């Protein structure tokens, strides 16, 4: 069965036990950290704008790309609305103006569970009043395509999404290169395959930057987080590469048991790449489109419910329980549609049970943390050579 990642990539829908809505605590941590960057980006927007053309009298347009569904879907746009309201409270001479008008857009792939998103958007519009007048919309589509009109956005946010590639590298999905039973970069991945993943990420992120540069107003901001690596090394204990390597091990156990065909495992790779901060900064600089305001890396524990992670202790208090949390609460909610689409629904329960055992063994060697990269960018002034059509909408 060929993998068609664009079609099956979406988080588990609905509100059930294995849904993304019920299992996105780790991603929430990254979003919480983005709030300060969003506040700073909003303040920066206002500060750049005031002298020439006051932003206070304009509608601000904010988009979250890869919103998914559930409690996280609105966190970033809500943070942006709050940041505007708070900023205006501290600005002299603004109180007597009508409340700010904000237009928020939530994007994800078309298979995303937009039904629950729609309901929460209605609630956000209501709760923002009377401090702000919010209009809202949903934009199904890939963020590797144009999504918005030229020069229409003031702020783009995206949390926990840009590590997903547009597709598995073509040379892997066509079978021209093989990944030796790995589903991402594992210890036995041939160097040529590592280069394919890296090349695909470079192409995708460069495209993403170019598309958003067209859609943002001059001086517009972008605040992003995604899974990454702490160093140039591709695999180290606990990072996200190890997490996928363990999932490949669990799949290999199902092959041994005759539950999964070896050739289906050979043909399965994730449309995923975790870059280092240096790779990201280099790509942004190469693009020549954005100034980098901030880059950083922080770490989230694999098991978001592991209370012992708060201390310095490197040992996981209850490996079996933590592994169950990792397998069921985090990873299943994220990759089940991809797994079920490729291997069939029938193996999903058994796979995540086996995966839990493999993860427990890994955690017994020490606590595992995901590195998460956060980035804040500002679109450089519009250059006529860069933008094909001239436009008059700037800050």
- Contact flag: residue 160 with ligand SAH (CB under 6 A): yes
The answer to whether residues 31 and 207 touch, using CB atoms and an 8 Å cutoff, is: no
- Integer distance in angstroms from the first to the last C-alpha of the chain? 49
Cβ of residue 370: shortest distance to ligand SAH, in angstroms?
13
Which residues in 50-109 contact ligand SAH (CB under 6 A)? 65-68, 72, 107-109
Q: Residue number with the shortest CB distance to ligand SAH?
A: 66
Core vs surface per residue 217-237: b (16+ CB within 10 A) or e: bbbbbbbbbbbbbeeeebbee
Told to check if 142 binds ligand SAH by CB under 6 A, we report: yes
Answer yes or no: are the C-beta atoms of 230 and 240 closer than 8 Å. no
Judged by beta carbon, residue 160 or residue 330, the one nearer ligand SAH is: 160
Going by the DSSP 8-state scheme, the letter that residue 310 receives in this structure is G
Angle at the Cα of 145 (from 140 to 147), degrees rounded to 5? 50
Which of 151, 159 has the CB closer to ligand SAH? 159
> H helices of the chain, where?
5-8, 25-49, 75-89, 114-128, 170-173, 191-215, 240-256, 262-266, 277-287, 319-324, 332-343, 348-363
Angle, helices 348-363 vs 240-256, to 10°: value is 130
Q: Give the footprint of ligand SAH on residues 179-198 (CB under 6 A).
A: none
Q: Does 152 bind ligand SAH (CB under 6 A)?
A: no
164 makes contact with ligand SAH (CB under 6 A): yes
CA torsion through residues 296, 297, 303, 305, sign: negative
In this chain, which of 46, 143, 302, 343 binds ligand SAH, going by CB under 6 A? 143
Quick one: which segment of 23-31, 230-238, 255-263, 279-287 binds ligand SAH (CB under 6 A)? 23-31
Q: Which is nearer to ligand SAH, 19 or 142 (CB)?
A: 142
Closer residue to ligand SAH, CB minimum distance, 252 or 329 = 329
Q: Which of 11, 156, 193, 395 binds ligand SAH (CB under 6 A)?
A: 11
Which of 112, 152, 218, 322 touches ligand SAH (CB under 6 A)? 112
Using DSSP bridges, classify how beta strands 369-379 and 290-301 pair: parallel, antiparallel or unpaired: antiparallel
Q: Give yes or no for a contact between 355 and 224, defined as CB atoms under 8 angstroms apart.
A: no
Question: Could you tell me if 300 and 26 are in contact, meaning their C-beta atoms sit under 8 angstroms apart?
Answer: yes
Which of 64, 21, 40 lies closest to 160, judged by CA? 64
- Residue in 3, 8, 10, 222 binding ligand SAH, rule: CB under 6 A: 10
Query: Counting contacts by CB under 6 A, is residue 173 touching ligand SAH?
Result: no
> Which CB sits closer to ligand SAH, 170 or 353?
170
Residue from the set 19, 23, 27, 325 that interacts with ligand SAH by CB under 6 A: 27
**Count of residues interacting with ligand SAH (CB under 6 A):** 23
**Interacting residue ranges for ligand SAH, rule: CB under 6 A:** 9-11, 24, 27, 31, 65-68, 72, 107-109, 112, 142-144, 159-161, 164, 166
């Amino acid at each position: 069965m060929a993998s068609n990642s664009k079609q099956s990539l979406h988080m588990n829908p609905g509100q059930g036990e294995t849904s993304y809505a019920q299992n996105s605590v780790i991603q929430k941590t990254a979003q919480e950290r983005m709030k300060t960057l969003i506040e700073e980006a909003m303040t920066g927007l206002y500060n750049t704008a005031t002298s020439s053309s006051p932003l206070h009298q304009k509608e601000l347009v904010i988009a979250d790309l890869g919103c998914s569904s559930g409690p996280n879907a609105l966190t970033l746009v809500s943070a942006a609305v709050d940041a505007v309201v708070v900023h205006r409270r501290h600005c002299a001479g603004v109180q007597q103006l009508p409340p700010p008008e904000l237009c928020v857009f939530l994007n994800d792939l078309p298979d995303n569970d937009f039904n629950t998103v729609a309901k929460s958007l209605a609630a956000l519009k209501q709760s923002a009043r009377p401090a702000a007048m919010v209009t809202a919309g949903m934009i199904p589509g890939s963020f590797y395509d144009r999504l918005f009109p030229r020069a229409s956005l003031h702020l783009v946010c995206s949390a926990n999404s840009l590590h997903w590639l547009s597709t598995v590298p073509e040379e892997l999905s066509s079978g021209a290169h093989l990944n030796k039973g790995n589903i991402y970069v594992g210890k036995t991945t041939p160097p040529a395959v590592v280069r394919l993943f890296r090349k695909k990420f470079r192409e995708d992120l460069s495209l993403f930057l170019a598309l958003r540069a067209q859609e943002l107003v001059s001086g517009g901001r972008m605040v992003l987080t995604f899974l990454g690596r702490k160093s140039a090394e591709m695999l180290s204990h606990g990072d996200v590469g190890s997490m996928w390597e363990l999932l490949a091990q669990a799949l290999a156990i199902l092959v041994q048991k005759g539950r999964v065909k070896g050739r289906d495992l050979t043909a399965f790779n994730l449309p995923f790449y975790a870059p280092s901060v240096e790779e990201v900064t280099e790509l942004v600089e190469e693009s020549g489109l954005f100034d980098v305001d901030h880059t950083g890396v922080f770490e989230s524990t694999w098991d978001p419910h592991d209370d012992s992670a708060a201390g310095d202790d490197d040992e996981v208090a209850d490996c079996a329980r933590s592994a169950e949390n990792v397998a069921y609460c985090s990873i299943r909610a994220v990759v089940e549609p991809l797994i079920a689409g490729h291997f069939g629904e029938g193996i999903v329960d058994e796979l995540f049970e086996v995966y839990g055992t493999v993860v427990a063994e890994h955690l017994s060697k020490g606590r595992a943390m995901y590195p998460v990269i956060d980035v804040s960018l500002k679109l450089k002034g519009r250059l006529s050579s860069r933008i094909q059509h001239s436009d008059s909408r700037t800050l």
